[in-house]
Structure 1
């Protein structure tokens, strides 16, 4: 078995969760001893596992079909999580959905990160079998490390007692970035740090303005940072606060859980079945609730759920994801192309 992993647009979305998902796929396949290539010119493969949805992705799918290869499409994206992102995304969302459906329909099997996103795809009328497989997490990479935490505090000139709330994500309205800033305004004694970036020309003017200048001094936007600093931030902050309105999974949530960090989320459907309020995380509905929870969590006035969250991350380790991917690949190779027969056999 050999798999061609394909990712289009590294320079645009390579720093996003989808980009990290590809890295996890490589690790997962290696852990299972599955041979893979990243070269789209290589025709010596059995399965095309495609992660993106641009014109080059479509051409590669068509080429794979001509060559008689099986196609697995990783459905990271939906109409719902496309909205409130780039300039014009809401107006383009219906067309984007049609484009996604036209691509996804060509796959022999679909993979999507959560049961929630699987339900969305089924609502699109897609008939292929769909496996809900987490993007996974590298547990060793995010395990708490005192040296990394010290480096994080030193880089941002934070005292040992300074309360720090972090978030990681692109500069999208749907990620809750405006709420993050509004809450920070009411808590000037806390430092709020939003890691991540996106080309400024691609996002609406109000988001650009908020990131560049319309935010209080206690909000920092250091851009995209990887390695020891971000890993130290995950475990060295007082709280990971992710106010996103829509996700297909939220790989940064897995990173925070793996870091044994306290996690505060917006209560949205994607977390159903794996993130539970007051069990392995805390959840809020609005900014008033978020502010109250942030204060209580940062001051240790609520039970610490970080180890319960870590157990959730352990269930989504790279090795576990590798086993699940291998099962899908084997099913794709073993079963007939006819989607109706295929769905019946794998139901």
Structure 2
């Protein structure tokens, strides 16, 4: 019988040495912290199998082997659904070719646990559409309270206006929209922070001729980058949540996003963001934020509130309840 008061969780990320950046790595780091904020003991190594729950963050082959092995030993296995075929399709240059095969693999992989945790209702619907028959809980990836506390923009009055974005440089993230907007607003600096892997993702050499468009590559200290931004423009076509939106919100940055299903229910147009469908919409939104001080300040206040609502202190308590329910269930699937 499990003692809920002394629950132990192993949070496992296969290929941790390779997955050093990006949303999956941030989600993994946040899961560990959420467990601790939820009052649980955490390990990250499978060598010590004295745990009640194995939390898998990436559905690799080794992870599925351990999932099967741990379930045979009577331990509960929970898998985070950070990977979908849909977001993979337009991220990698070969994504379209493997899309149908990845759907089938993910159906198998996500059926290997006792329960799943999706970062959004939208992702839950996608996973269900693969034919997965497991309980799926929806829980935000969250944001570290320490990140919230330290978030402070230090821009000077004479600093130029900077439109920022954070993420891998890919078509899926909307890099072409970002570049088109840089052409449209030559008086502003457009700064994209994130990994550039032209052979796998996107060749930014095609965009080097735009003088006010900057690609920084990976930034070791992302906080210094958020401090430079005046607005956060995130034109991504496909997300499972969008952790960077919470990070930008921590810095009280006005948010401009593409109007896609994943934001339904938590991002509200005109309240904590501006939603856009076309490049023309993004142009109008940017002009409105620049010229309308009241709107700009309103979006800034509400983006900060949004981030605070996703603090890992809150997420950790919800995560604990999920694990307690999983441990109490009689899973035999």
Relative to total residues, which structure has the larger helix share, 1 or 2?
A: 1
Alignment equivalent of 2:248, drawn from 256, 269, 272: 256
Q: Tell me if the contact between 1:164 and 1:239 (Cα under 8 Å) persists in the aligned partners.
A: yes
The Cα offsets for residues 129-177 of structure 1, whole Å up to 9 and x where unpaired, read as 111100001243145655x635xx8xxxxx8241100000012211101
Matched, 1:293 2:293: no
- Number of residues of Structure 1 aligned to a counterpart in Structure 2: 325
TM-score (normalised: structure 2): 0.92
Q: Tell me if the contact between 1:144 and 1:260 (Cα under 8 Å) persists in the aligned partners.
A: no
TM-score (normalised: structure 1): 0.88
**Paired residue for 1:331?**
325
Q: How far apart in 2 are the matches of 1:178 and 1:166? A: 14
Instruction: Tell me the secondary structure at the aligned position of residue 166 of structure 1.
Output: strand
Residues 298 and 226 (structure 1 numbering): CA distance in 2 closer, same or farther, change over 3 Å?
A: farther
**Paired residue for 2:183?**
185
Q: How far apart in 1 are the matches of 2:282 and 2:261? A: 18
Instruction: Tell me the secondary structure at the aligned position of residue 202 of structure 1.
Output: coil
**Paired residue for 1:282?**
274
Q: How far apart in 2 are the matches of 1:302 and 1:214? A: 35
Q: How far apart in 1 are the matches of 2:285 and 2:93? A: 32
Alignment equivalent of 2:13, drawn from 3, 7, 26: 7
Matched, 1:67 2:73: yes
Q: Tell me if the contact between 1:166 and 1:240 (Cα under 8 Å) persists in the aligned partners.
A: yes
Residues 81 and 224 (structure 1 numbering): CA distance in 2 closer, same or farther, change over 3 Å?
A: same
Q: How far apart in 1 are the matches of 2:131 and 2:294? A: 44
**Paired residue for 1:40?**
46
**Within-5 A mapping of 1:51-130:** 51-130=57-136
The Cα offsets for residues 64-85 of structure 1, whole Å up to 9 and x where unpaired, read as 2232221000011111111111
Q: Tell me if the contact between 2:148 and 2:308 (Cα under 8 Å) persists in the aligned partners.
A: no
Q: Tell me if the contact between 2:64 and 2:112 (Cα under 8 Å) persists in the aligned partners.
A: no
Q: Tell me if the contact between 1:235 and 1:261 (Cα under 8 Å) persists in the aligned partners.
A: no
Residues 6 and 278 (structure 1 numbering): CA distance in 2 closer, same or farther, change over 3 Å?
A: same
**Paired residue for 1:156?**
none
Q: How far apart in 1 are the matches of 2:151 and 2:68? A: 46
Alignment equivalent of 2:197, drawn from 187, 196, 199: 199
**Paired residue for 1:344?**
none
Aligned-pair distance for 1:200? 3.1
